[in-house]
Amino acid sequence: MKSILVVQTAWLGDVVLTTPLFRELRRAHPRALLTALVTPLGAEILAGSPDLDEVVALDKRGGVRSLLRTWRSASRLRAARFDLALAAQRSFRTGLLLRASGAPVRVGFEGSGGAWACTERVSWVASAHAVERYLALAAPAGGAPGRADPRPALAVLPRARDEVSALLASEGVGADEPRVAVAPGSIWGTKRWLPGGFAEVARRARERGLRPVLIGAPSERELCEEVASLAACGAVVLAGRTSIPQMSALLAACRLLVSNDSGPGHVASAVGTPVVSVFGPTVPAFGYTPYGEANRIVEILGLECRPCHSHGPARCPLGHHRCMREIGAERVWAAAEEILALG
């Protein structure tokens, strides 16, 4: 029986955007054993995937310890004796893992840090959406990217759904009360829209009969508390209180999500919840918008300093942060209203 490995140890959003590749590989090789090597967060988000037989987590943090973990992962891959290996992440480390897999066919991107380890290479098309770029890897692996379903999809675990229902009930949120999720955080400082803007969106959502639910990592709880305090509308703060599967279940139970250019937007879209994304230092042309026509992007066009970074620096290089400061809450809420009007 053929065994296939996909290495995708980039950010959470990248893992979500790789799910159409998993699905296409499953379609092309229905009897193969399909394994994904991802980060610990990636492993959590892929729990319950019908397209994967195994998910292996590699924690890349921690200097020397990270190297030791990579070595152990390489040894495990070598022992698995894969027939086919694909590199969705473009790093040198991924090249090492691909080569260590011992797979006779190894597929990756031209010009990537790990291209040296690949027997087959596909073009990295900068103008394409990331979903399409990752799907292109399926072609040398026997897939048909042009005919594949490009929509990212995540499983919502029944247990996580029940846990979220109980958590919301403990906060006084009714089972049938409509909700809007708000994710004001980002690991990149300049990708965060202003707390006051998110607070105004939360207020308007409450006035429309939607309960705002603020989500994020434990490190973003203080930011979410600030937004809730500014909004003064009964917003529920769940930042740092949900696991990744629970976050997926929570987003699936919301009418929409308002967020920055960050991971929760991709998760929401993949569980069928439309997204309003605020883009500042990064631009949609990078190919990392939440996938799907139901989503909306709010940005300031015409700023010569955009984009200033591939991710978003910790501070604005010019000191003015106009790309975020000049986005008014009325524009973001108008985008949300467009979504809500569609039902």
List the domain boundaries for the chain: 3-147, 158-341
Closest by CA position to 264, among listed 278, 253, 275, 272: 275
Q: What would be the CATH architecture of the domain defined by 3-147?
A: 3-Layer(aba) Sandwich (3.40)
Q: Compute how many other C-beta atoms are within 10 angstroms of the C-beta atom of residue 53.
A: 13
Q: How far apart are CA 36 and CA 5, in angstroms?
A: 6
Between β-strands 275-278 and 296-298, what pairing exists: parallel, antiparallel or unpaired? parallel
Q: Of 190, 193, 219, give the one whose Cα is nearest residue 305.
A: 190
**CATH code for residues 158-341:** 3.40.50.2000
Residue 301 has a pLDDT of: 96
Q: Give the per-residue pLDDT at 63.
A: 61
* Average pLDDT for runs of 10 along the chain of length 343: 92 97 98 96 96 91 66 78 95 91 96 96 96 98 97 97 97 95 96 98 98 97 98 97 97 98 97 98 97 97 94 92 97 98 86
- 319: number of Cβ within 10 Å: 7
Give the span between the Cα atoms of 191 and 285, in whole angstroms: 16
Q: For the full predicted model, state whether its pTM sits above 0.85.
A: yes
CA distance 29 to 138: 11
Give the pLDDT confidence score for residue 65 in this predicted structure. Answer: 66
